[in-house]
Structure formats: structure tokens, C-alpha cells
Homo-oligomer: A and B are copies of this chain.
Amino acid sequence: MTVAIRQTSETFTPRQQAVLTAALDLLVEAGDGLTMTAVARRASCSKETLYKWFGDRDGLLTATVQWQAAKVRVPLVDRRSLDPDSLRASIYQFARDLLATISGATSVALNRLAISHATEDNGLGAIVLDNGRFTMGKRLKPLLEAGRDARMLRFDNSETAFRTFFGLVLRDVQVRLLLGDKLALSLKEIEADAERATDQFLTLYGVPANKPDRAQR
């Protein structure tokens, strides 16, 4: 009965990572069917080991979520060489990656899990929020602010601007997927959506450049 819940950037042994991978796979395949016995069998380990390593079921879930969250690659943007085209390209790329990530099976499964276990308090929801939504915001904001400094974007509050960006990119996609709607976005559709969202965002927040017509419907 060790009470050792360490939160920050936990480092897992390869074997432990294999277990977490098994848990994650199981979670994606059958969300609610994630039972300790199932994980143990899938990972070819004993339940006792699971409890030894992760404390209890919640610890295992937390570790799984944290571990996966750490793997999410949020696009870093370098803010040198910032001209209107590169700004647009960076925003577009960010939108594309964001949409691809969120619409992925792993993200959906993870968010379902966190939402299921969200009766106020609770760490899972907070972890997912921190590593998903809020990390995204932290990553994009510097770009937005660089764009503002360069007089290519106009907004008062980068947080607000990001939230609008978030809405323009994801729209109803995330909640529909969470609710079981089969959407199956192809890469083409994702790219088209990202393009549209980028255009719309620049229409709302961009400073009209020399070439005036960027109006987008």
C-alpha cells in the first residue's frame, strides 16, 4: 500500500510503457471495457504488478493519460522570418495538426474516459485539459502575438483570440465524435477544414494587407 502519486513528468521503464500502451490500446478499442484484468492479460503481466506500479485503478488511468498526453506533438513555430505568408502557413499547420489530433481515435477515447470520470474535482479531466486545450493555447499564443507585433494581426487578448481559433477549427467535430457520431475525417477534409478555419481566422483578426481581397465565405 504505497501512496506514491507523483505527478510531474513521470518517467516510466520500458516495461511500464508497454503496459501503458496496452491500456491505451484497450481503451481505444473498448472504452468502458477497460478492466484491470483485461489490462493485465493484454500486457501479459499480473494484476499485482499493476497495483504495485500504479497504486490503484485510478493511478493506472492517470498514468496512461499523462503518458499519452506527453507524447502529443504540438507544433512549435519559429517566429523568425514572419511575413504574411509564413504566418498564414504556420496558423494553417497548427490548425491542421490540432484537428487531426482531436479527431483521432486516441484523443476521442482519452477524452471520453476523462469526461466519464468527471464529477467535479477529479484529476483526469484537469490533466486532459492541461495537456490538450491549454497546452495548445500556450503553443499558439506566441505566434499570434508575434503576428500582432508585426502588425499582421489585431486583437486585444490572445487568449480570446485563441478560443475563437479553437472554435473555428473544431466547430462541432469534437462533441460529435465524443457522442459516437461516425465522422471519419479524411486527410483531405482535415486540410480543407484547416484551410477554411485559417481563412476565417485571418478574416476576423488579420490586418488587411496591401492586397485587399481576402474575404472568405
Residues of A within 8 A of B (CB): 1, 30-33, 111-112, 114-122, 125-126, 128-129, 133, 154-156, 163-164, 166-172, 174-176, 178-181, 200, 203-205, 216-217
Q: Is the CB of B154 within 8 A of A217?
A: yes
Number of copies: 2
Chain B residue at minimal CB-CB distance from A128: B179
Q: Please pick, from B31, B117, B133, B204, the residue contacting A175 in the complex, using a CB distance under 8 A.
A: B133
Distance A164 CA – B166 CA, assembled complex (angstroms):
11
- Choose among B155, B168, B217 the residue that contacts A217 (Cβ–Cβ < 8 A): B155
Q: Let me know if B167 and A133 touch, CB within 8 A.
A: no
Distance (whole angstroms) from the CB of A110 to the closest CB of chain B: 11
Contact partner of A166 (CB less than 8 A), chosen from B111, B129, B171, is: B171
**13 A-B pairs, CB-CB below 8 angstroms?**
A112-B116, A114-B179, A115-B179, A116-B116, A118-B178, A121-B180, A125-B178, A126-B181, A129-B181, A133-B176, A168-B168, A178-B178, A203-B203
